[in-house]
Amino acid sequence: MAYTKTAEILAKDLKSDLKNGLNETQVVLARKTFGKNEITPKKKKSFIKRLIEALSEPTLLILEFAWVVTLGVNLGKFLKNGEGDFLECIGILIAVILSATLTLIMEGRSQKAFELLGKVYDKISVKVIRDGKVKIVSKEEVVCGDLVILESGDKVVADGRIIESNRLKIDESTLTGESNRVEKFSNQIYRENTPIAERKNMVYSGTFVCEGNGKMIVTAVGDGAELGKIAVELNASKNGEAPLSQKLNGLGKIVTVIGGIASAIVFVLSVVRLAILKDLSFFTVQDAFLSAIVLIVAAVPEGLPATAAISLSLNVVKLAKSNALIKKLVAAETSGAVSIICSDKTGTLTQNQMKVESISFYRESQKDRLYKNALINSTATLKTENKEQKVFGSATEGALLIKSKESGYDYEKLRDKRLIGRVLPFDSNKK
């Protein structure tokens, strides 16, 4: 257990170094030993399995049963006297095929869109120390034993043991449900079986750095991380039913029961009537049985599943035009009841990008001091990706870096010459 050990012992166990981190050979070995920093995706259902699930809806099962019975009855009539109404059979079959096809198409499209969104929003870059140098890597490249730099605004991409902490506070609400920010310390050691919320020497994947800065040594990645364990359990669980699906299923069961009881009563009464009229024979009982089956077929609303599927499909298409994706077709009815959506604005309603439009100086001599202060006393970095400047760290500090770069200042050279006296993280009270 990482939280029960000192940082030095843990680094030794992970074959890492608390100052220089891992080298490239150790990174490859760690990836082979502990795995990639990826949560194993849920196994995709085959087309056959999805088709069987679509055809297994209770209302469709009734229609399928009705189709088999109707086909059998009309085949019997056709073979007996050359007369058979197969139009009803064709109508029921079309309703079943249409409903199943629409369900497969719309749910398939939504699933692909969700997978694409997952890939887009999963692109997170991380600052790590390897071979004694700070490198920016994607979250998938992070391995156990890596030294990760944590700064305000960062998302934690793996579980790790704190090795340096400067007023570091983490929002762990996504994992523990606790809304209060938790301050982290590097010198704490805890007993085994200490609850996650009380481990103040650890940070966990999926949480956020709210304040301060620090470093951690990665102790678990991917499925081995606490968030990964939760994801594995969620993938193993069955999907719940939407309200509309429950109502349709309930209606299907009620119709089946009532139709079955009514047809059984009709069949018994028909047999009694035949017995009274002394016309009881195998063929007359067979006709009475077929009439009872036809009654069940007549009770089933053949157009209901198709109508529901078409209505939901039209709503899904309409929602898709507004950039709202529906994963399950029946969920379109549930989403229609949503009136309020609670969302964090950063990266959702805004782009999480800041820009300095202009800077005014009382004296021109202040210009050099201001730029150097903004460049040296900050921790954000810039990286060029696809000919576009990207900020890693504080958006405010990044905006000042870009403006300073446009004015001819090289923040990397200036930072290399600096001597750190004391680090005071941003505080909203001190500003």
Tell me the residue range of the domain where 387 lies.
343-431
Asked if 6 and 189 count as a contact pair (C-beta separation under 8 A), the reply is yes
Regarding whether 269 and 184 lie in a shared domain, the answer is: no
What residues have CB less than 8 Å from 282, skipping those under 6 apart? Answer: none
Q: How many CB atoms lie within 10 A of CB 306?
A: 22
Picking from 17, 8, 213, the residue whose alpha carbon sits closest to that of residue 133 is 17
Q: What is the pLDDT along the chain (431 residues), one digit of tens a residue?
A: 888 999 899 999 999 988 889 999 999 999 999 988 887 777 777 778 878 877 776 656 767 777 777 777 777 777 777 777 777 778 778 877 877 777 777 667 666 665 655 554 456 788 999 988 889 898 889 999 999 999 887 889 999 999 999 888 898 887 887 777 889 998 889 988 888 888 999 999 888 888 888 999 999 998 888 888 877 776 655 555 666 667 777 777 787 788 888 888 988 998 888 888 888 887 788 778 877 777 776 666 656 666 766 677 677 777 777 766 666 666 676 776 777 877 766 555 666 578 898 888 888 778 888 888 888 888 888 877 667 777 777 778 888 999 998 888 988 888 888 887 877 766 666 66
155 secondary structure, DSSP code: B
Regarding whether 410 and 354 lie in a shared domain, the answer is: yes
Which amino acid is residue 107, in one-letter code? E
Determine the longest span between alpha carbons in the chain, in angstroms: 120
pLDDT, residue 177, reads: 74
Regarding whether 257 and 321 lie in a shared domain, the answer is: yes
Q: How many domains does the chain have?
A: 3
Q: Is residue 207 part of a domain?
A: yes
The first and second tokens of residue 345, run together, are 């604005």
Q: Is residue 172 part of a domain?
A: yes
What does each C-alpha distance from 116 to 86, 108, 112, 155, 186 come to in angstroms? 45, 13, 6, 21, 38
Q: Is residue 135 part of a domain?
A: no
The first and second tokens of residue 413, run together, are 């050279």
Q: Which of 279, 344, 368, 427 is catalytic?
A: 344
Q: What is the phi/psi pair of residue 347, to 5°?
A: 80, -5
Enter the pTM of the model: 0.53
Regarding whether 330 and 245 lie in a shared domain, the answer is: yes
Q: How far apart are CA 66 and CA 293, in angstroms?
A: 9
Regarding whether 146 and 28 lie in a shared domain, the answer is: yes
Regarding whether 109 and 249 lie in a shared domain, the answer is: yes
Regarding whether 149 and 28 lie in a shared domain, the answer is: yes
Q: Is residue 133 part of a domain?
A: no
**∠ CA(116), CA(232), CA(195), 5° rounding?**
125
Asked if 378 and 397 count as a contact pair (C-beta separation under 8 A), the reply is yes
Locate tokens 């193993």: which residue?
236
Q: Which of 234, 257, 287 is the last residue of a domain?
A: 234
Q: Is residue 216 part of a domain?
A: yes
Q: Which of 234, 262, 292 is the last residue of a domain?
A: 234
CATH of the domain at 411: 3.40.1110.10
Regarding whether 151 and 219 lie in a shared domain, the answer is: yes
Q: How far apart are CA 248 and CA 254, in angstroms?
A: 10
Regarding whether 309 and 247 lie in a shared domain, the answer is: yes
Regarding whether 195 and 246 lie in a shared domain, the answer is: no
Picking from 66, 24, 9, the residue whose alpha carbon sits closest to that of residue 298 is 66
Q: Report the DSSP beta bridge partners of residue 128.
A: 135, 148
Regarding whether 246 and 177 lie in a shared domain, the answer is: no
CATH of the domain at 166: 2.70.150.10
Q: Is residue 297 part of a domain?
A: yes
pLDDT, residue 121, reads: 47
Asked if 311 and 336 count as a contact pair (C-beta separation under 8 A), the reply is no
Q: Is residue 304 part of a domain?
A: yes
The length of the chain, given as a count of residues: 431
Q: What is the phi/psi pair of residue 134, to 5°?
A: -80, 125
DSSP secondary structure, 214-250, as one string: EEEEEEE-GGGSHHHHHHHHHHHSPPPPPHHHHHHHH
Regarding whether 282 and 324 lie in a shared domain, the answer is: yes
pLDDT, residue 235, reads: 61
Q: Is residue 125 part of a domain?
A: no
Q: How far apart are CA 124 and CA 349, in angstroms?
A: 19
Distance of CA 275 to the CA centre of its chain: 65
Q: Which of 315, 335, 355 is the last residue of a domain?
A: 335
Q: How far apart are CA 420 and CA 377, in angstroms?
A: 9
Whether 131 is a known active-site residue: answer no
DSSP secondary structure, 373-418, as one string: HHHHT---EEEEETTEEEEES-HHHHHHHHHHHHTT--HHHHHHH-
